[in-house]
Chain A
């Protein structure tokens, strides 16, 4: 597969790995955070940590939009799905996220109609095909996905579709990164920057990280070589005492982002004054809602969601994992009460969650596995 396979070449990986190692100062520890859940997934899926020297640690960040959905919003979604004649559509990743009374699958077992879709446009199609149902699209994602929801809204408006609405849970990445930077528990040396979010917002928004906090950030692609190259670029910055924004993913990410995408978001959505992020608490101006002009497509208004704030289960330490303070296995309930089969928190449910990635891929990725694979 073009633009994919070339970036999975093992020989180049070994070369990069050696080069990264050669840039390490002996005795110094390096901590880089990969913000994006997609990067966490790649790192574990391809066993990338095997390619890094011992003194480089990767800390998993909160850039997983499924992981940061508070339980209360799941409950709200289920509340909407329970209304008469409602057909809810959702991305597959959301189907197993637990609310206080179960997840979407459990809800379907009790009679709701929540269906998986691949694209928000599919929801619109469902709405056209089911004129006697009201179709709600449960929208999640960072600025990567918000333009797609926005385009869908514009199309719904253009076509005069009146049995369609959006339950908007889009969030923005910069406040999350800022929350990490301001967190006293973390001492990071740099960031592996979000890849696909940057195709929309560009690289400018990250300049404050280099300028005000003095940390290097490299916008990275999602193939293993992309991540290794980004780590190399971070190490080089540190060695040369630079702190800059660099774009490793330049084949996909334009420095100025996607103006059309930004425009359609601005046309249809606005920033909420504040929004709750699971594990990070309330963050101001960190999430989007539909503009008043699009009120008739706003499921939150149409269905008067309870909006109850649901506290995370006491045992859940997702917050600390999301901030990178705890490694997945350091969570008290990791692997025992909280497993992919019986998840307590979102980090274990989302395929990009650090806990799911570690449990499913990374467990044993060390000596025993290497022994087994070499014998």
Chain B
């Protein structure tokens, strides 16, 4: 029920601008983007899809920031492990 999946907008339907065809890992479906009427939605945008509706546009900057944070933690962890490995306590 919480199920929301990210999908890429392929095209906005010409005759129904509240509908967009999205691609989820090669599978395409028409979804309703009427809830995003206060934003511009264009092909190439990514949206969160829930029961046939787009609930929100995925913010690429924020996604990038999230990844950078995770990578930094990863790096810090690796550094620590490396430091531990390199320092031997006799």
Q: Are A and B in contact, CB atoms below 8 Å, in the complex?
A: yes
- B2: chain A residues at CB < 8 Å are 36-39, 41, 63, 144, 194-196, 222, 352
For B63, the closest partner residue in chain A by CB is A251
CB distance B55 to A147 under 8 Å?
A: yes
**A252-B1 contact in complex given A1-B25, A119-B51, A260-B36, C-beta closer than 8 Å:** no
- B56: chain A residues at CB < 8 Å are 199, 252-254, 258
CB distance B52 to A145 under 8 Å?
A: no
Q: Is A148 an interface residue (CB 8 A)?
A: yes
Question: How close is B6's CB to chain A, nearest CB, in angstroms?
Answer: 4
Q: Is B65 an interface residue (CB 8 A)?
A: yes
Q: Is A12 an interface residue (CB 8 A)?
A: yes
Q: Is A161 an interface residue (CB 8 A)?
A: no
Residue from A63, A64, A148 in contact with B53 in the complex, judged by beta carbons closer than 8 Å: A148
Q: Is B59 an interface residue (CB 8 A)?
A: yes
Most buried by A among B6, B55, B76, B78: B55
Interface residues of A in 234-263 (CB under 8 A from B): 248, 250-254, 258-261
Residue from A7, A9, A250, A264 in contact with B35 in the complex, judged by beta carbons closer than 8 Å: A264
Question: How close is B34's CB to chain A, nearest CB, in angstroms?
Answer: 6
For B37, the closest partner residue in chain A by CB is A260
Q: Is B38 an interface residue (CB 8 A)?
A: yes
Interface residues as binary, A24-37 with B (CB distance below 8 Å gives 1, 0 otherwise): 00000000000011
- Residues of B in contact (CB 8 Å), total 40
CB distance A12 to B53 under 8 Å?
A: no
Q: Is B13 an interface residue (CB 8 A)?
A: no
Question: How close is B23's CB to chain A, nearest CB, in angstroms?
Answer: 10
- A122: chain B residues at CB < 8 Å are 52
- Residues of A in contact (CB 8 Å), total 59
For A93, the closest partner residue in chain B by CB is B1
CB distance A148 to B65 under 8 Å?
A: no
- A225: chain B residues at CB < 8 Å are 70
Within the assembled complex, what's the spacing in Å between the Cα atoms of A194 and B63? 18
Interface residues of chain B: helix, strand, loop or mixed (majority): mixed
Residue from A12, A151, A248 in contact with B34 in the complex, judged by beta carbons closer than 8 Å: A151
Question: How close is B20's CB to chain A, nearest CB, in angstroms?
Answer: 13
CB distance A16 to B1 under 8 Å?
A: no
Interface residues of A in 88-122 (CB under 8 A from B): 91, 93, 118-122
For A145, the closest partner residue in chain B by CB is B51
**A120-B52 contact in complex given A229-B69, A251-B59, C-beta closer than 8 Å:** yes
Residue from A65, A144, A250 in contact with B55 in the complex, judged by beta carbons closer than 8 Å: A144
Within the assembled complex, what's the spacing in Å between the Cα atoms of A15 and B78? 8
Question: How close is A201's CB to chain B, nearest CB, in angstroms?
Answer: 11
Q: Is A141 an interface residue (CB 8 A)?
A: yes
Q: Is A200 an interface residue (CB 8 A)?
A: yes
Q: Is B44 an interface residue (CB 8 A)?
A: no
Within the assembled complex, what's the spacing in Å between the Cα atoms of A158 and B34? 14
Interface residues of B in 49-74 (CB under 8 A from A): 50-53, 55-56, 58-60, 62-63, 65-67, 69-71, 73-74
Within the assembled complex, what's the spacing in Å between the Cα atoms of A147 and B67? 30
Within the assembled complex, what's the spacing in Å between the Cα atoms of A18 and B2? 29
- A248: chain B residues at CB < 8 Å are 66
**A38-B1 contact in complex given A199-B55, A229-B70, C-beta closer than 8 Å:** yes
**Top 10 closest A-B pairs, CB basis?**
A38-B2, A119-B52, A15-B77, A251-B63, A3-B6, A251-B62, A250-B62, A15-B74, A199-B56, A119-B51
A-B contact list, 16 entries, CB within 8 Å: A3-B46, A4-B6, A9-B70, A19-B73, A41-B2, A63-B2, A64-B1, A118-B52, A141-B1, A147-B35, A148-B50, A148-B53, A196-B50, A251-B58, A254-B56, A260-B35
